[in-house]
A and B are shown apart, each in its own frame.
Chain A
Amino acid sequence: MPEPRPGFPKLDIRSLPGPETIRRRVLPNGLTILARENFSSPSVILTGSLMVGALDESPARGGLADLTASGLMRGTASRTFEKIYESIESLGAGLSFGAGTHSTSFRGKSLAEDLRVLLVLAAEVLRSPTFPKSQMARLRAEKLTALSIRDQDTGSVAQLTFDELLYGDHPYSLPSDGSRETVSSLTADAARAFHRHTYGPRGMLLAVVGAVRADDALDAVEVAFGDWRNPKQPTQPGIPPVAGLPRIVRRDRSLPGKSQSDVVIGGIGPSRYDPDYLTAALANSILGRFGLMGRLGDVVRASAGLAYSVASSLSGGPGPGPWQVMAGVAPANVERAIDLIRQEIRRFVEGGVSSQELRDNQANFIGRLPLQMESNEGVAAALVNMERFRLGLDFYQRYPDLVASITREQVLATSRRFLEPDLMAIAVAGPAGAEG
């Protein structure tokens, strides 16, 4: 293993998760299990994902994958809602499920002594949920309340509007929690059928990290899930190609009575599989994350005093997610903030980054690894990330070298490939009237 280049933080590579400390087992039914020990605190985390998400639902049933995931814990063939929650809350444990566009993820946490209880419950709710009618009706009403809160939240409305503008007819334009219109038509029967036809162990990932022996963890997971089969489990539909924007498109949404406006600006970024992904992540850090929110923070927050929050983000999932800038600004300053952000993006793709900026951000990416891997959650997220995106179990051990080898020219070329200042979507939500 080569040493990181001089000038960057020195890490004890062997302290990072790697093939020596990660146990991995692939079951015949397609479930991949990962485990890593950490005895520094008596707790354990269980996390993972299944290959089912909003992509598997029709647009008219928007929110069905989400409702189904939330409904798993509402009852099983052998336990009621009350018994399910009593079994974990009485242990101070937690277990929850949620669906995104591509996948359904879960997260459980308990004292190490209670891991088996958590695993048995996770297997039971995934394999034999009953979606009781009254429970599902109540859950749907709670979702509708959450949606009406979402639709009054300036940040959420700006983000939803941005996704619509940027992705047009593509499924990424739709929110994975659906809309009030689509969710009000969802039923317990629909969730039951969706579960029966889409949930299965093929492609499922499950990671256990904490104060349990790794081999014991693998065995316990195998006992709970090894005989799960679903012949109906479909192959997930591919991601349709995205069409870029032909010009600047903008939409303003009015939310009367609000005090602040939220702005989202950006374009389509790389998928996590893109060879330029890590370079784009480094570029994004320089633009809107490093220190107090990167260059954008310096200009919009610090120099102009325009916003409490301004930052950029890159959401590299299985497909090309957005590369975007978000800001919360006083309604009177919206136009100025948009101009400043656009100017800064233009400067970024025209002038590139300095060698100092690049080195600072490379050092940050490398040096923050111990902090990211401090908690069981951090390690579990790293394990799932390596497996899901086929990075290899030595990814974090190679990572310092991968980061250190990125050049200014690569950052500039990658930024130009994805960020086009004249082909962006701009969404605003706030108290002011529509302008765009």
Chain B
Amino acid sequence: MSVGVLRTRLRNGLEVRLKEIHTAPLISSWVWYRVGSRNERPGITGVSHLVEHMQFKGTPRFPAGILDKAISRDGGYWNAMTWLDWTAYYETMPAGSIDLALRLEADRMVRSLFDVGEFESERTVVVSERQGDENEPTFRLAEEVQAAAFRVHPYDHEVIGHMADLETMTREDLFHHYHTYYVPGNAVLAIAGDFQSRPMLARIRELFGNLPSRRRAPGPPIPAEPEQRGEKRVVVEGPGETPYLDIAYHVPGGAHDDFFALSVLDSALAGASSLNLFGVGISNKTSRLYRALVERELAASVGGGLAATIDPYLYSIQATVRPDHTPEQTLQAYDDEVARLLDHPVSAEEVAKAIKQARALFAYGSESITNQAFWLGYSEIFADYAWFESYLERITRVTPAEVHAAALKYLIPSNRVVGIYRPSGDRAHA
């Protein structure tokens, strides 16, 4: 049931989702393309993210540097994101100014220039972005864990791509990727905010309806990751004095029934994660892992991360190890705690707490029109909007037995990759 959401598909294949929200004079418009690092192969890793950058470099009608000023002039905000499964572009504008966003999104869906000079300049920017990521020990570790977890499926690399590919990809590689995936039939236009749906839809038909309905060329098939048979370990050495642990388990995608039990498991084990794109979550000091690792002084912090993806991805636990302990000691305490969880299932109280937390985080997220529009599109990528609408209800139905079953199924050593960051101990010097 989609109360108040207009959903339709234009003749050229563009999916449209409109949700009226009249609490503030704002509109948030998102275009989602079903393309991300999942659609990349060796040699062009990072191409989806580079294409996203080039989408800000102009069309004949909106030359580079015009767009950002035009949006800002009206007091709007815009950005874009590339992830495993998708690339999304959004503008949140005062309601009276949204037409500009619609015009430019329709235009850059098919008419971006990909100027060679702009591309070479942007290549340097993205190389610099990756160098910034590499400054973080947690990025270096997560990248190796991800690579170890996937040897067949293209979830094997970071969205930003390998440095070697960033240095060698060509403008033609990018343009080919753009031409393949940026077609109306591979996109969802999701708009939420202070508008009337009928006139908004009419305007969308005018602007997007005549874009060519080229079918998306079938990309290379995406192979399923075979079941992992046995624990894997990776060790990363690098600068700093702080060790880290990153423990990742293979888990199913967002549309799978187990996702809700896993969400409750994550709350009990590591603290409720906010699924919202904007705004912060809540503390996790009463979670099992905080008590086992931080209160017992084996870690300075611990957290979990579960993401709604198309294909099976990873549930990961990250801990900042205290320098007076080795990562192996902290891992042992972690394993003991997980063993306790498997022996003593989560209680009805823990499940009730997770449900209340989910309800609160859901309410916090609904304050923002941008976040509402985010869910309107994002849920369509891995499931559909009904997934989001029924989210609280499905979380509420999760039982302790289901949580226990999920723990027994997924939190087992043969299903995980253990990553350890071992710092070299170099001190900074002036």
Contacts and interface: CB of A to CB of B under 8 A. Distances in A.
Are A and B interaction partners?
yes
Interface of A: 9-10, 12, 15, 40-43, 81-82, 85-86, 88-94, 96, 109-111, 138, 141-142, 145-146, 148-149, 151-154, 157, 251, 253-260, 290-292, 298, 301-309, 328-330, 333, 360, 363-371, 373-377, 434
Contacts of A304: 121
Contact of A85 (B94, B283, B358): B283
A145 B65 contact: no
A371 B282 contact: no
Contact of A15 (B25, B65, B68, B128): B25
Given A149-B242, A254-B430, A371-B92, A302 B363 contact: no
B167 interface: no
Interface stretch (B69-77, B145-153, B203-211, B398-406): B69-77
22 contacts: A41-B364, A41-B366, A41-B367, A88-B283, A89-B282, A89-B285, A94-B281, A96-B283, A109-B282, A111-B359, A111-B360, A142-B294, A149-B242, A157-B428, A253-B430, A260-B135, A308-B132, A328-B128, A360-B73, A366-B75, A370-B94, A374-B367
A333 B364 CA distance: 42
B239 A141 contact: no
Given A85-B283, A257-B424, A309-B132, A92 B358 contact: yes
Interface string B273-312: 0000001111111100000001101001100000000000
A138 B297 contact: yes
B384 interface: no
Nearest to B350: A90
Given A92-B358, A142-B301, A152-B240, A260 B75 contact: no
Interface string B21-37: 00111100000000000
Contacts of B59: none
B320 to A, nearest CB: 6
Given A370-B94, A374-B24, A138 B120 contact: no
Contacts of B77: 368, 371
A364 B367 contact: no
Contact of B94 (A92, A255, A306, A367): A367
Contacts, number: 213
B122 A292 contact: no
A305 B282 contact: no
A154 B135 CA distance: 8
Contacts of A290: 69, 72
Contacts of B120: 305
A374 B368 contact: yes
A251 B430 CA distance: 8
Contacts of A259: 130-132, 134-135
Contacts of A82: 286
B131 A260 contact: yes
Interface string B233-245: 0000011111000
A94 B65 contact: no
Nearest to A289: B72
B356 interface: yes
Given A85-B286, A370-B94, A375-B368, A363 B75 contact: yes
A322 B360 CA distance: 38
A255 B322 contact: no
Given A82-B286, A257-B424, A307 B69 contact: no
A167 to B, nearest CB: 17
Contacts of A111: 359-360, 363
A146 B360 contact: no
A152 B75 CA distance: 37
B132 A256 contact: no
A386 B107 CA distance: 42
Contacts of A43: 360, 363-364, 367
Interface of B: 23-26, 56, 64-65, 68-69, 71-77, 92, 94, 96-97, 120-132, 134-135, 137, 238-242, 271-272, 279-286, 294-295, 297, 300-301, 320, 322-324, 353, 356-361, 363-364, 366-369, 424, 426, 428-430
A376 B285 contact: no
Given A145-B242, A149-B242, A328-B128, A94 B73 contact: no
B73 A375 contact: no
B134 to A, nearest CB: 4
A305 B121 contact: yes
Contacts of A329: 128
B300 A141 contact: yes
Most chain B Cβ neighbours within 10 Å, of A91, A290, A291, A333: A291
Given A96-B283, A260-B135, A42 B72 contact: no
Nearest to A111: B360
A22 to B, nearest CB: 17
Given A92-B357, A251-B430, A301 B68 contact: no
Given A257-B424, A364-B72, A308 B128 contact: yes
Given A89-B353, A306-B124, 5 more contacts: A40-B24, A81-B285, A363-B74, A368-B77, A375-B279
B25 A12 contact: yes
Nearest to A40: B23
A427 to B, nearest CB: 11
Nearest to B71: A291
A141 B295 CA distance: 11
B135 A153 contact: yes
Contacts of A260: 128, 131-132, 134-135
Closest 10 pairs between A and B when the two form their complex, measured CB to CB: A367-B75, A92-B360, A257-B239, A305-B121, A291-B68, A40-B23, A305-B124, A308-B129, A260-B131, A368-B75
B367 A40 contact: yes
A89 B75 contact: no
Contact of B430 (A85, A92, A154, A434): A434
Nearest to A114: B360
A333 B366 CA distance: 43
Nearest to B124: A305
A416 B131 CA distance: 35
Given A89-B282, A90-B286, A93-B282, A109 B364 contact: yes
- Of B281, B360, B366, most buried by chain A (CB within 10 Å of CB) is B360
A370 B430 contact: no
Contacts of B241: 148, 152
Contacts of A368: 75-77
B287 to A, nearest CB: 8
Which one of B24, B353, B361, B364 has the greatest number of beta carbons of chain A within 10 Å?
Answer: B364
Contacts of B242: 145, 148-149, 152
A145 B300 contact: yes
A86 B413 CA distance: 30
Contacts of B124: 305-306, 330
Contacts of B64: 302
A253 B282 contact: no
Given A9-B74, A290-B72, A328 B132 contact: yes
Nearest to B239: A257
Nearest to B424: A257
B128 A146 contact: no
Nearest to B291: A82
Given A110-B360, A307-B128, A375-B368, A152 B72 contact: no
Nearest to B120: A305
A39 to B, nearest CB: 9
A305 B69 contact: no
Given A43-B360, A254-B430, A360 B135 contact: no
Given A90-B286, A149-B242, A257-B239, A374 B369 contact: yes
Nearest to B139: A259
A145 B128 contact: no
B272 A92 contact: yes
